[in-house]
Amino acid sequence: MQILQKADEIRRKRRQAQELVARILPTIFYAMFGDPGQASQLYPLSTGIESIRNGLSRRRKSSSNEGQIVLRIQDVGDGAIDFSNVNRIPLTDDEVVSFSLREGDMLFVRVNGNRDLVGRNALFKGFSEPVAHNDHLMRIRFKQDKLLPEYVAAFLRTPFGKHEIASKVATSAGNHTINQEGLGNIRIPIPSVRQQKIFLDTVRAHGVSLDALQCGKLEAENLSLALINRAFTGELTAEWEKENAEWIAERQAFYERLPRLLLLAFLQEKSKRAEREALENVVLVTALMKYAFLFQMEGASRRRFYHFVPYHYGPFAKEIYTDLEKLQQDGFVSVNDGEENKTKITLTNPAKAAAALAELPEDLQEDVATIIDRYGDLDHRTLL
């Protein structure tokens, strides 16, 4: 059926995108720092580790509805944590304090029957409630004046990093394991924190986001599996598609206009700020580009709506011009074409914009507000 074919196509494209990123990251790493295997000076990973801790015992009774989230191996993808089907275990207050993750912590698979899974890791980006982990995983907390977690995550995805992990894995009774000492002995180049930040900025400038792609891949695979399950149980039939054709069309239309709603939300936030501070109610198109780019790089939702490439005035996405043209046709904005970096956009109908933005998900609205709070007061040159 067409809907299953579409779901499978999304899943395959997400997987291809992730494979592409897996190749790009090591390339950028090698371009900046060279082959770690040829480096004149390598340091044990323990040099930049503040603490390592194994998780809670797996013998604890779990509950699907009660207790605290305790992450398992299956929740830790290669670059992202999946919260779609979490396990809960009642914990004491002391355990919540002792085992809760902090933003920037790395979860590292330390034991598995499949040798290839040992060393799989993801960074914890924060969550709306306390999150712990079980004993199949190690929690690594870094001294961020020496090692940035994102830099370590990128290094561990290079061929040399994977080789270092593999060299520290031991095998016993059919299980493959790496202990805390072995992890600490992994060799890594440690450039200055400034150089590490430049590397991460370069990665972001290339539009590379492992966690976003991994989350997208998980979402696509979950969607595909759910649809396949419905198909085999008889729920997803030609009749079902026919009966729900209007709903399917509505959702497709919504996702098509979602990027335009995002731009509209930025323009509305800027308009509100201009009104409060008696400023000119215009936004330069280059500034809007940067807000959208920062939204994708720093927003908590990690959603990607545009493909940015390096350009004269920083990150550039040509699709934004197409969406602005559509917003102008629909009577939301006025676009005063000028030179490339001086095209001005004005929100012409705030009431109509507010009505349209009622369907923008709250998490995206919050991300937009956060970006404007952080960067909305910068002058144009500083923003660029």
Helix (H, G, I), strand (E, B) or coil at 116: helix
pLDDT digits (tens, 9 = 90+) for 100-149: 999 999 999 999 888 888 999 999 988 889 999 999 999 999 999 999 99
Which pairing describes strands 88-89 and 175-177: parallel, antiparallel, or unpaired? unpaired
Residue of higher predicted confidence among 57 and 21: 57
d(CA 366, CA 363) in angstroms, rounded, equals: 5
Which of 43-47, 96-100, 314-318 has the lowest average pLDDT?
A: 314-318
pTM assigned to the model: 0.53
The two structure tokens encoding residue 317: 């996405």
Q: What are phi and psi of 185, to 5 degrees?
A: -90, -5
Res 210: pLDDT: 47
Res 360: pLDDT: 86
What are the domain boundaries of the chain?
Answer: 26-210, 246-383
Res 211: pLDDT: 46
pLDDT digits (tens, 9 = 90+) for 171-217: 987 889 999 999 999 999 999 999 999 888 877 665 544 444 444 44
Domain 26-210: CATH superfamily, name plus number:
DNA methylase specificity domains (3.90.220.20)
Res 263: pLDDT: 92
pLDDT digits (tens, 9 = 90+) for 232-290: 455 555 665 677 677 767 777 788 888 999 999 999 988 887 777 666 778 888 899 99
d(CA 220, CA 222) in angstroms, rounded, equals: 5
pLDDT higher than threshold 60 for residue 42: yes
Q: Which residues contact 124 (CB under 8 A, 6 or more apart)?
A: 81, 101, 102, 103, 104, 105, 106, 107, 131
Q: What are phi and psi of 207, to 5 degrees?
A: 70, 25
pLDDT digits (tens, 9 = 90+) for 307-325: 888 777 788 888 898 999 9
